[in-house]
Each structure stands twice: as structure tokens, then as C-alpha cells.
Structure 1
Amino acid sequence: MNLHLTDNIELAPKFDGMLPDDTSLWTDRLVLSAVIWLSRKLDKPILKLTSRDYKDAGLELLTDYNGSAYDLNIKAFDALQHTITGWPGGKPGTGNFMRPARELPYPKRIIVFSPHPDDDVISMGGTIARLVKQGHEVHVAYETSGNIAVGDEEVTRFMHFINGFDQLFCKNTGSDNGSVISDMYLKVKEFLKNKKPGQPDSKDVLTIKGLIRRGEARTACSYNGIPLSRVHFLDLPFYESGTIEKLPMTEKDVNIVQELLREVRPHQIYVAADLADPHGTHRKCTDAVLAAVDEAKRNGESWLDDCRIWMYRGAWDEWAIEDIEMCVPMSPEELRQKRMAILKHSSQMESAPFLGNDERLFWQRAEDRNRATAALYESLGLTSYEAMEAFVRYKL
């Protein structure tokens, strides 16, 4: 099962300096892309572009078609301005005029689907904190256990702790748990001692690694004010191969997602679209969610009529600015809060096995990306923010 993500998201044609001769192909998105291209090429804010700038770039027909350089600049500037919102769940009492997210219903039930137990805060931690603060019922669904992305030293550290806990408390009280813990401690210790390079982990070690990531995810959610009753661990079966190479995504994965959607009946869904993930997990997780949504649509499930889906990107890539349909700004304090939530996932810092060729840690990648988005908006002449998180809407 492999869905075509771009069939339901409106991506702008990428302007390369030449306009089609056929003006019927000059869509609003192409025109916006052309104005952004010229603004960046000349390093001038959009509202400072002149008729001479357009003519020198061979784009005088674009200004003629839109009335004047002034009219064209205003049109492009307004289009970008209206993507910015501090109310990603909609602002009550203001109507829906030119806002990315509708006002009602309020508060909304929201599900953030996170492929791994940290993609939520890496990709949209600022938006999550904003949604919680603004009174929405935010659920986070961790689609996979993320167990293979935990280093062996983390297992050793946690096993030392629980064995020490056993020595100090369980055995002194005569609890039967003591022998279970001691036996498991010795079993895991022996396995890791004899583990060969590239050897898959045992089921027990994978379980412990999954528990480590669950604990970190719960801590990060609590930090953001999300009750643990709204934290869901889906453990999609396709991921549980124990190796980098994953199993095919099947109906079993889709059914698990369907059950959660029917339970929560969300008004907003946030889904990962960071398909640059080198191991393919994000693609399969996204396909599982969209397949579940398509099934709900075929079944005529009523909750879907009042639901909107937003796509985010994460540690590897960001949406092109002409594609962005909602951009949530962050203050320096909010960006710091996002960083702290990411740092709750301590197993994914320096010792994480899959940081890739990029030597920056995940919180550094996220901050650099969010600051770059804000800087790009600023360079085009819009309000200066510390950082911004970007989204594209998936059309049902």
C-alpha cells in the first residue's frame, strides 16, 4: 500500500525564471512563486519591488496582467501574511476571515501523529504547546516504538538503575519481583556483553528500549501540559522487524489508526510529511494514517466532515515558502520551551544510533530550520519572529 501524498496537497509550481506563454497557466500559486523568486533574487522585500525590477527580469507581462507592480506586490504580500497565525486551532470570537484555521468548533479535539516518539516535538513542538495553552484537547499518537533507535548503553544504564532499585527495596521487603528483576538483569547483561556488531537485539532488549522511549515521550508530553490519558502508543506492527529494514505496511497497521480516530473523532489531525526520512518509517506511518482517513471517508463516518488535516515536516526538510498554508510563529521563550521538550528525549541526543551525516543534534536542526523559516519571511518584508513552524493542508 503506497498512497500518493501530493494528490491531496496543493504544491505551487516552482518558478524558474520563465513564465508559460499561455496565461491560463498563470495560477495564483505560480504568480506567488514568481514574486518570491524575484524578491529573493534581488534581496529586496516584496513591497519594494518596482516595475523596473520586473522588466529587467523579463517579467513585465506579469505586472501588466495584474495591473501594476504595486497591485502585484500587495497581492503576493497579503497571500503570505494570511498564512501566519498564532492560533493554529482557530481563534474564537473572531470569525474565519482570512485565517488558516477556522474558528469553530472551539475547543477542538486534535490528534498529532508522530512516527517516532520525538517527531512531534521536533517538528511542531511550538505549535503543540500553543494548542494546549489555547485550551484544545490535544492527543499525541506515537505510531512506532522507536526501539531500534536506542543505544545499548541506555539499556545498560536503565538496567543498572532497576537492579539497584531491586537491591535497595524489593529484596528488603521479601517481594517476589526481586528474582525476576535479577534474572532479567543478568540475562540482558550477558546478551549485550556478547552482542556482535550488526546483530539484531533480543526481544527483551527491544522491549526495554521501547520502554525507554515511552518514558521519554510521556515526560515530554507532561512538560507540554498534555495529560497522560491523551498519550497513545500505537506500536504499529510494520516497525517491529527488529532491524532497520521494516516490514510492509498492512491492514493491521491501518486498523490500529482507525480505532484511535473513531475513539477521538478529531477536528484537526497533524501528520508527518517529512518523506526524506532515510529509513522510510515516516512514509509508512503517513500512509497508514491517510489510508485510515480514506477508509473513514468511504464508510461515511460523520466525524470526518468536521475534520481538517495539516501536514508538517521535521528534522530533514521544510516546505517551500510558496507551499506553506499555515505558519505558526514562536517567541524566544516558546522556542526555548520547544528545545526543552526535545531534550526530554535524552536517548536521542549524542548517543542516538541514527543521527545520520548531519552532526547537529535534533534540537539544533529544529531550531535552525525554524529560525530559517522566520528569516525567510522577514527577508520578504513580513513581521520578524524568532522562529516559525510551517504546515500544508491535506485536502480530503
Structure 2
Amino acid sequence: MTGVSHLGKVLILAPHPDDEVLGCGGTMARLADAGHEVHVAVVTKGYEPAFPAAMVEQVRAELAEAHEMLGVKKCHFLDLPAARLDTIPGAELNAAIGHVVSDVAPDSLFIPFLGDIHRDHRLIFTAALVAARPRTRAIPQRIYAYETLSETNWAAPGITEAFIPNVFFDISNTLERKLNAFERFKSQVKPTPDERSLKTIRALATLRGSTAFLEAAEAFMMIREIS
């Protein structure tokens, strides 16, 4: 089994607070433990009237607690409108993501999956690939798409893009921290059998782990690797 030293500095693009913990929380903790710089960029922010200001502040406070637990070095807030990314010019979204990718200069980039049912996720996937176009030597050397419970698996496989993972990161030693970090999102945690329950998050980690003969894993699709 290979380690994670090749991943270098890491940036995770999160459409909304908690997506990065659901998709990459165990990997984030493992990378931080290994001494890597782990950055998160939360692309959107909820605005009134759809998202009460008090709720937005609560979620950001929960996010800070979760990130501290996982060892995140810095969280970057892009503050584009949540659930309304399709209302802003594509050039504006591309520029915002391009700037944070340029500022962080990650070696490895983790992005939401193209086939997620939430349009914000799909738009960010495309904008991330625009930001990471191989036009300079400074682009991310590795790009992974992660899965998000209640987004990645609620589309229509066979009609829309299917998440078929080909990379598995061992999170046997960090699964509990991932669960504890997600539990900090009091506004987002749901009771079983909801997909955003702690039981379901653990079950997915167990399933993905068994796929690679591990106790627990997070699964990704490799989009590109330059070696």
C-alpha cells in the first residue's frame, strides 16, 4: 500500500459547508497528520431570504469546529450564491475558482463529481477543470473527484454520469475523526436512515474499505495525474 506523501499541498473545493467532510474528511485528517497543508475552499454562501443569516453563521461556526478537528490549515470563502450558481456568468465562477487555485497552488486538487444531482456541484466540477488546464507547470498534478452522500448517488446512473471509483484512500485510523467532525454540523446531521446520518457515513466508509480490503476508505475518481 502506498502512502500519501506524493499528494503534497492539497486543496478541496466544497460547493457548500460539509461537502468536504462528507467526501474527504478522513483523507483530510490523514493528510494533516502526515504534515501536509490541507486547504478548503467553500465556494458558496447562503443569502437571505432563502437562507436566514443566523443559519449561515451557525453553519460557518460548525465548519470551523469540524476543520479544527481535521487539521485544516486554512478555509477560503468565495461567497458565491448558494443554489444559484447557474444565475451568475460562467466567467465569474471560473475566475473565482481560478483565483483560489492559483493562490493556494495545490499539488493535489479534490473536486465534487460531475454527476452529482446538485447543479452547484456540477458547475464547480467544470470550473475546477478550467482552472486546472495544463497550460503551465504550476497546475495541480493530481485531480480527484469525491462522492457526496445524498448528491452523488441521487442522480440516474445509466442516464447521467455514474460515480465509478478507481482510487481508495485508507481512513481506517481517521474514520472516527471524520464522524466526530461531521457531528459538529448540528444543523446538518440527520437521524438514521437518512443518508446524512452518522450510521450511513460509517456504512459507506466500510463498504468502500471492503472494496479495497481495508477497514474503512474514501473513494475517488482519478480525473488526471501528471507524473
Mapping of 1:52-67 within 5 angstroms? none
Corresponding residue to 2:208 among 373, 379, 393: 373
1:275 aligned to which of 108, 111, 115:
115
Which one has the largest radius of gyration? Answer: 1
Paired residue type of 2:75: V
Q: In the alignment, which residue of structure 2 is the partner of 1:202? A: 49
> Whole-Å Cα distance in 1 between the matches of residues 22 and 203 of structure 2?
11
Counterpart of 2:67 in structure 1 is 221
* Shift in alpha-carbon separation, 1:112–1:250, aligned structure 2, 3 A: same
What SS does the aligned partner of 1:144 have?
A: strand
Gaps of 5+ in 2: 154-161
AA partner of residue 216 (structure 2): A
Contact 1:126 1:335 in 2 (8 A): yes
TM-score (ref. length: structure 2): 0.82
For structure 1, the 5+ residue unaligned runs are 1-83, 91-100, 102-107, 149-200, 378-382
CA contact (8 A) 1:143 1:234 kept: yes
Q: For 1:395, what is the secondary structure of its paired residue?
A: strand
Structure 2 residue 227 is the aligned partner of structure 1 residue 393: no
How far does the alpha carbon of each residue in 1:43-87 deviate from its partner, in whole angstroms, 9 at most, with x for none?
xxxxxxxxxxxxxxxxxxxxxxxxxxxxxxxxxxxxxxxxx54x2
CA shift at 1:240, angstroms?
A: 6.1
Identity of aligned residues (%): 25
- Equivalent pair of 2:10/2:36 in contact (CA under 8 Å): yes
Give secondary structure in 2 for the equivalent of 1:348.
Answer: coil
- Give the conservation status (yes or no) of the 8 Å contact 2:115–2:163: no
Alignment RMSD (CA, Å):
2.7
Deviation string, structure 1 residues 168-215 (Cα, Å, up to 9, x no partner): xxxxxxxxxxxxxxxxxxxxxxxxxxxxxxxxx538x63333222221
- Number of aligned residue pairs: 215
- Aligned to 1:254, what secondary structure does the other structure show? helix
Alpha-carbon separation, structure 2, partners of 1:207 and 1:225 = 27
Between Structure 1 and Structure 2, which shows a larger proportion of strand residues?
2
Structure that is richer in helix per residue: 1
8 Å CA contact 1:122–1:362 kept in 2: the answer is: no
CA drift of 1:340 comes to: 0.3
**Is the partner of 2:87 in helix, strand or coil?**
coil
Residue matched to 2:19: 119
What secondary structure does 1:303 align onto? coil
Of 183, 194, 200, which residue of structure 2 is paired with 1:359?
194
1:319 Cα deviation from its structure 2 partner: 4.2
How far apart, in 2, do the equivalents of 1:110 and 1:361 lie? 25
| Structure 1 Cα separation of the partners of residues 217 and 176 of structure 2 | 13
Letter in 1 for 2:201: A
> What is the distance in 2 between the residues matched to 1:276 and 1:269?
18
After superposition, the C-alpha distances for 1:255-303 in whole angstroms (9 at most, x for unaligned) are 11111111111111111116233x3221112122122223xx3xx3331
Q: 1:336 aligns with which of 170, 173, 176?
A: 176
Provide runs of 4+ in structure 1 moved above 6 Å.
none
User: Secondary structure of the residue that 1:391 maps to in structure 2?
Assistant: strand
